[in-house]
Amino acid sequence: MSFLNPLFLIALAAAAIPLLIYLLNVRKPKKVRFSTLAFFDSLKQTALKRLKIKRLLLLTVRMLAILMLVFAAARPLLPGNFGGLMSDGAPKAMVILIDNSPSMQQVDLNGPYFDQALEAAEELIRMAGSDDRILLNVTNGESLPFPFVSSSGALARLSELSVENKGNFLAERIRSAFQRLAQAPEPNKQVYFITDGQETQLSGLSDAAFSENQEMIHFVVLGSAEPANTGIETVHLESSISDGEENLSLRVIVRNYGVREARNQFLNLAIEEELVSQQAIQLDGGQSNEYLFPVSNSVEGSISAEVFIEGDELTFDDHYYISIQLPDSRSVAVISDDSRSRAFQSYLIPMLEVMSEQEERFDISFYSLQNLDADILYDYDAVVLDALQSVPDYLSQTVIDIVQNGGGALLMPAANGDINSYNRMLGFGNAGRYTDLIGSYGSFDVIDRMAEPDDSHPIIDSIFEIGEGESVRLNVPELFYLYQIEEGSQSGSFPILSTRSGQTLFQEQSIGNGKMIYSAIGSDPGWSNFPIKPFFAPFFFRTVEYLARGEGAKMNNHVLGERFEKITGHTFDFAEIEKSGETFVPEITQRFEGTMVSYHGNEWEPGFGKIISDSWEQYFSVNQDAMESVLNSLNKSEVENILGSVFEQLSVVRVEDDRDTFFAELESASFGKEIWFWFIISAIILLIAESIIARFYKVEII
């Protein structure tokens, strides 16, 4: 007999508690003189003797009851052939789950991990009886379509298994194993998981939810190789604005996940399958480093790129695929007055003209208010009102309609503007209002300064890379003349930029599905020296981009092991996914944000894919979870500590160099029978006996 929780045997010392109490209560009787001792001599031979027997019986019963409870907590296990207690005729249902993740490509003195896993699975199958049924499954990739089969059928299918660089679904497969066993008619049911004990996989099980109807699960942990692996941890796409153009670069973090130093390795960048850059890798054990690669965005649509490592021992995580989606062309209408009486000219119009010429993804049209047909504005994604002296009501209503339907609007006031017309337009969208003017236009007398921006808004986030606890260092504009802004009462209203005195400079208000931004200052130098500051161009570039719902270039990446979900701004009822020469039919769901394309993607490997509809297509990249690269394994006690509270019945067997000892231990743990309930029943019987003895074993004392 063995124990699954031998640590509880320490509690055997508790059995001495009743004995200790008994010894403390034994006292030497006092001598009392009576006239005659004949009666007491008789009592010494009868009642006192019976009292002593009763005490010893109670002591023995109590100690035995404690021992039974301690043995039950230690979960005693009888081998399958012990005294015929587990009849060979009782059939068993077994689920053998084999770890086929990329980490099983490692090799130690006993050979490749995966070959060792197949050997352990084969031994388990051979231990099974002729009437037993076996279900095989793997952790990565598609779930195997096999039903419960006989031992010979399971042995035949072992040769079909292989390591797969696909998504990991360990928790899902264990959950499925419990469900399949719950439906099996066999009285004895077991789950076996053969793995290298990869820490990132097993630790993730602690957050998984499993049904209360759990069968016995055995973790068979193998492998003793020293981790040696260099992998690509993360890839980030970064953009910056220079001379009105968006420049792209890839920031790649490479980590040495092993303990030995990584030398004579190289990190390469290929764009459209053409090698464009290479950098040397030199990393000590556990160290990481960043590598920056500029990316040309001269093409349209999307960019397919790949970063990969040369010279690494394990290659499954040496390739990272990148699909960069370049933004669609967005249309912007800029409306200004045809007045030539301004003391200062707008700096916003020239900036937008340069933006239109150098940024192919923006189609910017310029209109004079005097010659404007407002109906054409419905074809634009965003509208900019620059220094209009008055905003007619028909134009106000058109702009609000565009914003409510998902567009954007930017209002820059004029020095001699009609504040009432501005407020009427803002009032149509419950967006707040202008209250008063302070300062003197064109005086260049500084009344306030802009406060340094923080990272609380997407526009600011896209301009600055602000680390945690850091602040922006900026040559801030000086203000001469500005409107005071009163924030709207409805939700979705907050300032983008403010002054040092707390006045709002740029206010955003959500209206329907879109956004409106209005400014406390105009776009010419009579209001402030903002137009001559370096911050002016990138701020308004990102503001117009934000209002036109242009997200800039972005990576379309899917992580294996997760469900593929992509929300698009296009409307369609049918689409297909092309991946590795195969075609898959996804689910199409219409949502408020757009059309969602979703698919489980269990059979996918790293690489590129493409969503195709009748009038639209989009590329995406597929990569494995970076956690697959962390090869650290847990030992037997660590697995028990992490998963002991997750699984109701758990045993852990570690494969050692002595294979005979391992298989003997595996057979004992696998095909034995837990008999803890026998000890619980025995403890209950003993406690009942203790009550009977205490109540009915009477000792007469006269």
pLDDT in tens, 147-198: 999 999 999 999 999 999 999 999 999 999 999 999 998 888 889 999 999 9
Q: What is the pTM of this model?
A: 0.65
Average pLDDT on 600-627 reads 93
For strand 408-413 and strand 382-388, is the pairing parallel, antiparallel, or unpaired?
Answer: parallel
Q: How confident is the model at residue 562 (pLDDT cuts 50, 70, 90)?
A: very high
pLDDT tens for each residue of 461-485:
878 766 666 666 788 999 999 999 9
Q: Which burial class, exposed, middle or buried, applies to 530 when counting CB atoms under 10 A from its CB (0-12, 13-18, 19+)?
A: buried
Rounded Cα gap, residues 117 and 614, in angstroms: 47
Average pLDDT on 19-30 reads 61
Strand partners, 395: none
Average pLDDT on 513-535 reads 93
Sole residue written with tokens 């095909």: 671
Sole residue written with tokens 């199958």: 125
Q: How confident is the model at residue 69 (pLDDT cuts 50, 70, 90)?
A: confident
Which range is least confidently modeled, 27-36, 324-333, 437-446, 449-458? 27-36
Rounded Cα gap, residues 105 and 438, in angstroms: 72
Confidence check: pLDDT of 622 > 80: yes
Q: How confident is the model at residue 559 (pLDDT cuts 50, 70, 90)?
A: very high
Domains located in the chain, CATH noted: 2-27+36-77+679-696 (no CATH), 87-226+633-671 (3.40.50.410), 228-315 (2.60.40.10), 330-547 (3.40.50.880), 558-630 (2.60.40.10)
pLDDT tens for each residue of 34-64:
555 555 565 555 665 666 777 778 778 888 8
Average pLDDT on 656-665 reads 63
Average pLDDT on 232-258 reads 83
Q: How confident is the model at residue 356 (pLDDT cuts 50, 70, 90)?
A: confident
Confidence check: pLDDT of 203 > 50: yes
Confidence check: pLDDT of 121 > 90: yes
Which range is least confidently modeled, 419-428, 491-500, 566-575, 687-696? 687-696
The tokens of 588 are what?
């199409």
Query: What percentage of the chain carries pLDDT values higher than 70?
Result: 83
HEC string for 426-468: HHHCCCCEEEEEEECCCCCCCCEEECCCCCCCHHHHHHCCCCC
Predicted pLDDT of residue 35: 54
Residue 179 sits at φ, ψ, to 5 deg, of -65, -40
* Residue 647 CA to its chain's centroid (Å): 22
Average pLDDT on 274-282 reads 94
Confidence check: pLDDT of 375 > 60: yes
The mean pLDDT of the chain is 85
C-alpha distances in Å from residue 350, one per residue of 88, 161, 524, 537 = 89, 65, 11, 10
Predicted pLDDT of residue 89: 52
